[in-house]
C-alpha cells in the first residue's frame, strides 16, 4: 500500500473531526465568541498552525492532530486542549502523557506498523501544537517519550524503493508517442520532474508568482551555442564523433520573490533525448502547430499538448 492511498483512507476516517470552534459551530455563543475571538476556528488548532509558513507543514499538522483526535474519540480539534482536564490537578497531565504514548505505541507502531521516522513526525507535530498553546508546555516530557517510546516496529524492513527497471521503462517507451518518448528520454537524462511542468501551489506563489512553470522551446539551447567556427573545428578535433545536445534552461527567468535570487540553471540532455526532441518539434512543425502561432511559438510549452 502506498502512503498516498493510506493518507486517503485516514482522511476519510477523520473527515468528521471539525477544525471549527465548537461554540460557534453549535451556535452556543450569541455575541462575539469568547472561545475563538470570533474567527470561528478552534483556538487550539489555530494556535497550532497559524505560524506555520509552509502549506505542506500545515496540512501535515492538521492531519496528525485529526488522527490523534480520532484515536481519542473526539469530534472537535478544540477538545485536544480540554479532554484530559478531569481532576484539575497535575495528574491530568500524566493522563495526557499516557494517551500520547498510547497513540504512538499502540496505534502508530503496533497497529499501523509505522516506521520510527513516521512516529517521530507525529510526535513532533503534537509537541509543537501543545507548545504553541502554551499552557501545557513543559508539562509533558517530550524528550523522554521520544527516547523511551519511539521504536521501529519489530520485523519491519526499512523503506523499500521500487524504481522502474529497464524492461519496464522499455514497455513505457515502446508504447509512447513521439512526445512522450522525448519526455522519457529527457527524464532519463536526469532532469528533475518539476523542470518539465509544474503547477505552483497557492502557498508557494508567494515565492514564485507564476501559476505554472514549464520548459519552453526557447529554453532549449544547443550546447555549442556561441562557438565560433574555429571553436567548432577545435572541438571536433578534440571530440571526434561528438553529437550536439541541448542545454536546457530550467526555471528560465524565474526569480525567487523572497530572496530576489535567480532560480534558473542549465541541465544537459543526452544525445538520444536531443534527437527525439528534434523529431517531435519537426513533427509538430509539419503538422502546422508551430507555424500557426508564428514567432510566439518559442514561448510554447516544449512538450505541446498531448
Q: Using CA atoms, how far apart are residues 50 and 34, in angstroms rounded to an integer?
A: 19
Which residue's CB is nearer to Zn ion, number 42 or number 183? 42
Can you count the helices (H) and strands (E) in the chain? 12, 5
Nearest distance from residue 40's CB to Zn ion, in Å?
Answer: 6
Nearest distance from residue 131's CB to Zn ion, in Å?
Answer: 23
Which residue's CB is nearer to Zn ion, number 30 or number 295? 30
Q: Strand 246-250 to strand 220-222: parallel, antiparallel, or no bridges (unpaired)?
A: antiparallel
Residue 249: in which H helix or E strand, if any?
A: strand 246-250
Nearest distance from residue 51's CB to Zn ion, in Å?
Answer: 20
Nearest to 253 by CA among 242, 264, 261, 244: 264
C-alpha cell of residue 157: 524492513
Nearest distance from residue 35's CB to Zn ion, in Å?
Answer: 4
Which residue's CB is nearer to Zn ion, number 35 or number 270? 35
Interface with Zn ion (CB under 5 A): 21, 23-24, 33, 35-36
User: How wide is the angle at C-alpha 256 spanned by C-alphas 60 and 186, nearest 5°?
Assistant: 80
Which residue in the block uniquely carries the three cell numbers 513521439? 178
Classify each residue of 100-125 as buried b or exposed e, where b means 16 or more C-beta atoms within 10 Å of its C-beta: bbebbbebbbeeeebbeeebebbbeb
Nearest to 58 by CA among 41, 83, 74: 41
Which residue's CB is nearer to Zn ion, number 41 or number 96? 41
Which residue's CB is nearer to Zn ion, number 33 or number 104? 33
Angle between helices 55-72 and 91-102 (to 10 degrees): 110
Nearest distance from residue 44's CB to Zn ion, in Å?
Answer: 12
Q: Using CA atoms, how far apart are residues 204 and 190, in angstroms rounded to an integer?
A: 24
Nearest distance from residue 75's CB to Zn ion, in Å?
Answer: 15
Which residue's CB is nearer to Zn ion, number 33 or number 150? 33
C-alpha cell of residue 219: 529554453
Nearest distance from residue 49's CB to Zn ion, in Å?
Answer: 16
Which residue's CB is nearer to Zn ion, number 27 or number 296? 27
Amino acid at each position: 500500500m502506498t502512503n498516498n492511498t493510506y493518507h486517503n483512507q485516514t482522511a476519510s476516517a477523520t473527515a468528521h473531526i471539525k477544525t471549527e470552534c465548537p461554540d460557534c459551530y453549535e451556535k452556543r455563543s450569541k455575541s462575539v465568541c469568547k472561545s475563538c475571538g470570533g474567527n470561528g476556528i478552534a483556538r487550539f488548532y489555530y494556535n497550532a498552525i497559524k505560524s506555520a509558513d509552509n502549506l505542506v507543514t500545515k496540512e501535515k499538522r492538521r492531519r496528525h492532530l485529526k488522527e490523534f483526535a480520532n484515536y481519542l474519540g473526539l469530534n472537535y480539534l478544540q477538545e485536544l486542549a480540554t479532554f484530559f482536564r478531569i481532576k484539575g490537578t497535575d495528574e491530568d497531565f500524566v493522563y495526557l502523557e499516557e494517551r500520547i504514548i498510547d497513540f504512538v505505541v499502540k496505534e502508530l507502531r503496533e497497529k499501523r506498523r509505522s516506521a520510527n521516522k513516521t512516529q517521530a513526525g507525529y510526535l513532533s507535530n503534537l509537541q509543537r501544537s501543545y507548545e504553541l498553546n502554551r499552557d501545557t508546555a513543559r508539562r509533558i516530557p517530550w524528550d523522554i517519550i521520544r527516547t523511551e517510546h519511539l521504536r521501529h516496529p519489530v520485523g519491519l524492513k526499512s523503506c523499500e524503493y521500487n524504481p522502474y527497471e529497464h524492461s519496464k521503462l522499455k514497455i513505457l517507451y515502446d508504447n509512447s508517442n513521439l512526445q512522450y518518448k522525448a519526455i522519457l528520454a529527457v527524464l532519463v537524462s536526469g532532469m528533475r520532474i518539476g523542470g518539465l511542468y509544474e503547477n505552483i501551489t497557492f502557498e508557494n506563489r508567494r515565492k514564485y508568482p507564476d501559476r505554472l512553470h514549464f520548459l519552453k522551446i526557447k529554453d532549449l539551447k544547443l550546447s555549442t551555442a556561441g562557438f565560433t567556427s574555429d571553436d567548432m573545428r577545435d572541438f571536433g578535433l578534440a571530440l571526434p564523433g561528438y553529437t550536439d545536445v541541448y542545454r536546457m534552461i530550467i526555471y528560465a527567468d524565474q526569480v525567487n520573490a523572497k530572496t530576489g535570487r535567480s532560480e534558473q540553471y542549465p541541465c544537459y540532455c543526452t544525445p538520444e533525448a536531443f534527437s527525439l526532441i528534434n523529431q517531435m518539434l519537426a513533427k509538430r512543425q509539419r503538422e502546422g502547430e508551430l507555424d500557426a502561432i508564428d514567432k510566439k511559438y518559442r514561448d510554447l510549452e516544449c512538450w505541446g499538448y498531448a
